[in-house]
Structure 1
């Protein structure tokens, strides 16, 4: 009974450690100006903005904050200005803060800022103090694609004091193994009268582990297809 309780405590500890491990994706949360990339890195778009004029077309980009330019580009972060003729200018909003998304780049940049009608590739230039907006050839795509080169688009490192989450998890895992083996040995020694290697918890599993690993590797190398039994360990388990 005591042995089963010890096993339950051990596996519960492993389960808690796995739950505590954070798998970070790109998370902008409630603040579109700041996106968490990992436990120790984030991006700050507060000062990221720029304009780009190509012929009669001008893109106005205002980063993560909506701006009112006119009635056509109202509450927008990216606006397209097209000069039709000397007297006519067409304004089109290509995105606003509400529909902004952020993801790993699919167009060769570091990260992509995605709007419902456009996409901006963000490229970190650490030693370049200005933000430069560049238009990509869009003849083969259905949405305007821009690149912005800026040191404001570089990841900011968060300085941690003390042990990181990864270090804490490693310590907990080592403590779990210590409790498992030491506690299990004590239980087997005192209750079952085990001696020598018989004091190792689940000794049959640990003795068979190399064969299990070998079988798993062979299984993967064969494309996850069953193969003929080729080892003594495999034959014994069958």
Structure 2
């Protein structure tokens, strides 16, 4: 029985952490080029990150090659060099003058999700007969400051992978009548634990005539709680993956 309780406890710890490790499930339907809505009412909105002065919010972020940098602005088109009215621009600084290449427009913005529910904005543009696609993965982190980076460049295939980590990438506005599966599981397990303690204390006190700390069922187990918490946390692993393209 004690072994069963250990398994239940560790699983409960994992369940409580899962909502913080995995993105919202389901399709996020495009509302604007920087805003989408899930079926349960949750919204991801990057409007507050948009620069409205004609430039990019994230400007000249270095890629894998020092002479190549990238600029991106959510929501609003910007102009940089010969990149006019774009969402993403690549600048190559090998030889003067700089070479500016559009990597997608706001009009082409498409919200995509992978099998894990990780959300991204995909931009596209045709450059000299070659379709260029750029994916900006949106990483939800409510406790971080906004950060933007280049994660991969497949120049021969004209595919570029960028990543935004921001509280603004987190879904908001979930209504109370649309609870997630994880929330239901937490409610069920919390109810189970509450019933277990109430029934256990009654049995210990009135049937087995225990007193003091021994009125708590499986008191030895709870004394090992810190070790079990550490073991449960170590089992939790969140690893980022590229979001797959819906269109090539």
TM-score, normalised to structure 2, is: 0.48
Indicate the residue corresponding to 2:218 in structure 1. none
- 1:134 corresponds in structure 2 to 150
Answer 1 or 2: which has greater strand percent.
Answer: 2
Question: Which residue of 119, 126, 133 corresponds with 2:135?
Answer: 119
1:144 CA drift (Å): 1.4
Alignment of 1:23-102 (within 5 A): 25-29=27-31, 31-48=32-49, 49-51=57-59, 52-54=61-63, 55-70=66-81, 72-85=82-95, 87-102=96-111
Deviation at 1:83, TM superposition (A): 0.2
Rounded to whole Å, the distance in 2 between the matches of 1:146 and 1:65 is 18
> How big is the shift at 1:104?
0.3
Over 3 Å counting, the alpha-carbon distance change for 1:74 and 1:102 in structure 2 is same
- Give 1:32 shift: 2.3
Contact 2:33–2:74 under 8 Å retained in 1: no
User: 1:44 deviation in Å?
Assistant: 0.3
Displacement of 1:147 in angstroms is: 1.8
CA positional deviation for 1:141: 4.6
In structure 1, the partner of 2:193 is none
Q: Following the alignment from structure 2 to structure 1, what is the Cα–Cα distance between the partners of residues 140 and 157?
A: 24
Q: CA deviation at 1:93?
A: 0.9
Assess if the C-alpha contact under 8 Å between 1:67 and 1:74 holds in 2: yes
Task: Give RMSD over aligned pairs.
Answer: 2.8
Gaps of 5+ in 2: 1-25, 50-56, 125-131, 181-248
TM-score (norm 1): 0.50
1:139, distance to aligned residue in structure 2 (A):
6.4
Structure 1 residues 133-184: Cα deviation after superposition (integer angstroms, max 9, x where no partner): 2332536854112222222211113345xx5699xxxxxxxxxxxxxxxxxx
Offset of 1:59 from its aligned partner? 0.6
